[in-house]
Amino acid sequence: GENVGLHLPTLSVQEGDNSIINCAYSNSASDYFIWYKQESGKGPQFIIDIRSNMDKRQGQRVTVLLNKTVKHLSLQIAATQPGDSAVYFCAEGPPQDDYKLSFGAGTTVTVRA
Amino acid sequence: DTEVTQTPKHLVMGMTNKKSLKCEQHMGHRAMYWYKQKAKKPPELMFVYSYEKLSINESVPSRFSPECPNSSLLNLHLHALQPEDSALYLCASGRGNTDTQYFGPGTRLTVL
């Protein structure tokens, strides 16, 4: 089946720097994408989402970029803080399936003080 | 309120035990989900309920039995589990229609 994947399994970032987490997807018909943050011992927490009719969406300190031409999704975190240390998952919602999300493998972000 | 609650937080059970995991949401979501998550892996979908009816069963062994008593509650009944079933069990809810799924904190299950 179609899978959502991540380019890097780990990312180490200096506190205060910007982080960029990347995700590639293969289903060109997918029309909905979500980023989740999962801290140790907790469930995934919704961060931000984007639909395929957009190429950029901003939240508080986070920006999601969608490049449909190359089927690439990224999450940018501005001024990374220690509390941003977590595993980040991208997820893809294919339009033909009303319920299923396909998750990427996840990127572990570690913030260095 | 985007909260999904799960109980218990931790559960240790033997292979002959019967136990249940519980999930509750009050966001009026029509879809509720059970996921299994192993360490350092993404969540794997197990079951989906839509309007209190089971709509997806991802070929889960019958020792896992879901139940949706009403639109706010979702249970997962466990019986004769194996040690390899030890994992974090996550409940989620959403509006469906490829919309956001909101996850609970999970139940950390250990099967001895």
Determine the residue among B1, B33, B98 to mutate to test chain A binding: the one whose Cβ has the most chain A Cβ atoms within 10 Å: B98
Distance between A103 CA and the closest CA of chain B, angstroms: 6
Average pLDDT per consecutive 10 residues, chain B (112 residues; last block may be shorter): 89 94 95 95 95 92 97 97 97 86 97 96
- The average confidence (pLDDT) of chain A is 90
Residue of B nearest to A4 (CA): B42
Which pLDDT score is estimated for B73? Answer: 98
Q: Do A42 and B40 touch (CB under 8 A)?
A: no
Nearest to A23 by CA among A79, A56, A65, A78: A65
Touching A: B residues 66-95, CB under 8 Å: 88, 90, 94
